[in-house]
């Protein structure tokens, strides 16, 4: 279970490590709704999560395509679904590409960058992760 917490990151490596460490508390079906400006560290966080889940491929911001699926060799979780809605006008396009097959599925962990554009599609219970840019290298990451 992912606990509500706040973390002061002092650099990209720390954000990565924070995401990586959280992966240990994942049990499947989690939806990480990520909020924060351009360059706030959303992708860096997902890269950490992915590493913690055993992904060895390079994880990039899925700007095009807007959804990347990583198959996992994890005992409980089959896939990591990484979505970036930045280029979408609304969530409907996510339905069109089949994202609802993954979002919230018990054998899947989902992380959505720019989650504000997908709120209509998301279940009520998600893990909200807000990234605040404090300085060039500092970020405050708030999980609710």
For Mg ion, which residue of 11, 51, 61, 88 counts as binding (CB under 5 A)? 61
Can you give the binding site for ligand ATP, defined by CB under 6 A?
A: 9, 11-12, 14-15, 36, 38-44, 61, 86, 113, 137-139
Residue (124 or 135) nearer to ligand ATP, CB: 135
Q: Find the residue with minimal CB distance to ligand ATP.
A: 41
- The Cα 43–Cα 35 span in angstroms is 11
CB atoms within 10 A of CB 140: 16
15 binds Mg ion (CB under 5 A): no
CA distances from 92 to 53, 85, 103, 121 (A): 29, 11, 14, 8
For Mg ion, which residue of 9, 43, 79, 85 counts as binding (CB under 5 A)? 43
Q: Are 91 and 85 in contact (CB under 8 A)?
A: yes
Q: Given the rule CB under 5 A, which residues bind Mg ion?
A: 42-43, 61, 113
């Amino acid at each position: 279970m992912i606990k509500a917490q706040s973390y002061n990151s002092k650099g990209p490596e720390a954000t990565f490590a924070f995401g990586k460490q959280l992966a240990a508390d994942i049990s499947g079906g989690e939806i990480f709704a990520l909020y924060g400006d351009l360059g706030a560290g959303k992708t860096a966080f997902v890269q950490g999560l992915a590493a913690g889940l055993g992904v060895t491929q390079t994880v990039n911001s899925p700007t095009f395509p807007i959804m990347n699926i990583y198959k996992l060799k994890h005992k409980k979780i089959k896939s990591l679904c990484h979505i970036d809605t930045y280029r979408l006008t609304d969530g409907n396009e996510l339905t069109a590409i089949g994202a609802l097959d993954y979002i919230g599925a018990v054998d899947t962990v989902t992380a959505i960058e720019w989650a504000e554009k997908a709120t209509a599609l998301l279940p009520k219970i998600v893990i909200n992760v807000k990234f605040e840019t404090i300085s060039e290298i500092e970020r405050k990451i708030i999980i609710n």
